Amino acid sequence: MHYSKLKISRDATSRLRSIKQKTHITPNLLCRYALMQSLEDGPLGDIPLPDQEGQEFNAYTLTGELTELLLALVRSVEERTGGPALSDEVLMARVRGHIHRGVGSLSVRVKSPSDLVMLAAQTP
């Protein structure tokens, strides 16, 4: 699957600014981290999907060479429950949802760059 741009929620955009001020890590890298953190928490289920009124990323900036891998991981987590295969549109909505959930989690857990390292070192 190919996508060119992805807009995240207004809330996630605001939280990313705050995390960036604390860590000096760019929003695109924080989004990648947030996506992976959220995937560890499992499928989104019936969680309402976030708005698309926040920051817009082009595909290469957001996921780089990892696009196919990250989309496959989202598909794997979201389709794990045995439901039907996700359409491309639904898949991208789930990517936004995972970024939103992951950024929310990071915003309360990360106060410095070392907090990201500590989170990465933890095993589920």
What pLDDT was estimated at residue 124?
A: 57
Question: Would you say the C-alpha torsion 36, 37, 43, 49 has a positive or negative sign?
Answer: negative
Given the DSSP bridges, would you call strands 56-58 and 5-7 parallel, antiparallel or unpaired? Answer: antiparallel
What pLDDT was estimated at residue 123?
A: 53
pLDDT in tens, 47-94: 898 999 999 999 999 999 999 999 999 999 999 867 778 999 999 999
CATH number at residue 52: 1.10.1220.160
Tokens of 90: 């639904």
Report how many domains make up the chain. 1
pTM assigned to the model: 0.92
Domain boundaries, position 84: 5-121
pLDDT in tens, 92-110: 999 999 999 999 999 999 9
- DSSP assignment of 57-123: EEHHHHHGGGHHHHHHHHHHHHTTTS-PPPPHHHHHHHHHHHHHHHHHHHHHH-SSHHHHHHHHH--
What pLDDT was estimated at residue 30?
A: 96
The larger pLDDT score, comparing residue 119 to residue 22, is at 22
pLDDT in tens, 21-49: 999 999 999 999 999 999 999 999 888 98
pLDDT-derived band at 8 (thresholds 50, 70, 90) equals very high
What pLDDT was estimated at residue 90?
A: 93
- DSSP assignment of 21-40: HHH---HHHHHHHHHHHHHH
What pLDDT was estimated at residue 84?
A: 79
